[in-house]
Structure 1
Amino acid sequence: MVETIGWIGSALILVSLAQSRPRRLHLLNLGACIVLIAYNALIGAVPGIGLNAGLILVNLWRLRTLPPAGLSSSHPAPEVSNEDPHQSEVHQAR
């Protein structure tokens, strides 16, 4: 049973690192850290508890610094100029 908790935490780490969305990555990683703290406490691995406690702080900080949900600073909407010749061709084709 104890090993199963460790495997679940490890699987959550892998799943979190496969995410393309930062918010989902940090939330899953946060969950993994909580599971792994429980696992490390059960087996008496104090360094593992310390590592995961530190990672919880990092994940919380990163979640706090992300832009609000629905906004993405890495993929901003392109600015469209009325002076763009390609844009006027699109409007004429309609």
Structure 2
Amino acid sequence: MTLWVWIIGASVAAYAVKLLGYLVPRRWMDNERMTRIAGTMTIGLLASLTAVNALGTGQALAIDARLGSLVASAVALLLRAPFLVVVIVGAAVAAGLRLLGWG
């Protein structure tokens, strides 16, 4: 199969899952347990995506400037910096570490 067949197939599958979401009864979504589960899943998925992007290169583990950037951003978040400051701190640390030859 060609790449385009896979791309179109994935798009159709994603759209079908979205449409199936409209068929879920409203009372299920109003349940507090479901709200808690959805919130927890969102946090878990975002954390795993961040870890994979910060530490992964293809199929291998990579320790480079991205890890330093993630740590600096986490410190800025702990200090309750505004989101824009967190992004700038992370970018500056990554740039500085790459300038120093790490990563």
Question: TM-score if structure 1 supplies the norm length?
Answer: 0.29
Of Structure 1 and Structure 2, the greater helix share is in 2
Larger gyration radius, structure 1 or structure 2: 1
Higher relative contact order (CA 8 A, sep 6+): 1
